[in-house]
Amino acid sequence: MKPLGRKHAAGGGPATDGCEHDMDGPSPVRLSEPEVRELFRRLKERMPDPRPELDAPNDFCFLVSVVLSAQATDKSVNEATAPLYAVASTPRQMLELGEEGLIRYIKPIGLYNAKAKNVIRLSRQLEEEFGGTLPSTREDLMKLAGVGRKTANVVLNVVFRKPTMPVDTHVFRVCNRTGLAPGRDVLEVEEGLEVRVPAEYALDAHHWLLLHGRYTCTARKPRCGDCVLAGLCPMPKEAETPLDKSGPIGV
């Protein structure tokens, strides 16, 4: 398929995707179907063309960036991978670079030793098992080193344009605060989104929710005064809730 030469969203992580949390329970509030449709109408109006934020010159590099983004910012990943992808942008080139060579580029990123091992292993798997290309199913993607359900869902959505619902800490927080898809864990939230998101919004839904959580519905100081979901969201303005200090960690 055509390489992805544009910016993409974060959402990667190790095989478990680091999505454990200590929340006491899901929000008791659940938006009605018309409210859900209005929520996405507003988010689309605010962000008509949501642009995820990892830089990647092709599909393979995008997968690597998502894996590297666990417990790291997109900015730090982009800074590390810009020079990396100039010398290694295919599985074979990554294998030629080797684990020690890779570490020299990604050392500023957290957990670089484990991530380097995973990137080299998944590069070998892609070469030996998938002809050097990314598999297009969740099951096959999750066979790759360092790829859990969330990372697989991100790749399926961004690379293969499938309406999957990756749930990271931002999406988890927004879904519970607003009552869009309350859940005790990320799988429950993901399954709720799959049922509740209208089909016409499904492809970009996780991008809107992630970006809204990252820049407006932030963990400790949500910008409620600048929120397009005012009147829909039951959270008191400028108030902290138990969700502010919980949610999936390590994303």
Beta strands in the chain (DSSP E): 6-8, 54-56
Q: Are 74 and 53 in contact (CB under 8 A)?
A: yes
**Is residue 150 annotated as part of the catalytic site, yes or no?**
yes
Which among 17, 59, 74, 150 is annotated as catalytic? Answer: 150
Residue 193, token pair as written in the block: 């989104």
CA count, 13 A, side-chain hemisphere, 65: 35
Q: Are 66 and 151 in contact (CB under 8 A)?
A: yes
**Is residue 168 annotated as part of the catalytic site, yes or no?**
yes
Place of tokens 């988010």: 43
Q: Are 163 and 178 in contact (CB under 8 A)?
A: no
Q: CB-based burial of residue 94 (10 Å sphere; 0-12 exposed, 13-18 middle, 19+ buried)?
A: buried
Which among 22, 168, 185, 221 is annotated as catalytic? Answer: 168
In 149-168, which positions are buried (b, 16+ CB within 10 angstroms) versus exposed (e)?
Answer: bbbbbbbbbbbeeebbbbbb
Distance CA 68, CA 60 (A): 12
The Cα diameter of the chain in Å comes to: 55
Q: Are 174 and 213 in contact (CB under 8 A)?
A: yes
Query: Catalytic site residues?
Result: 150, 168
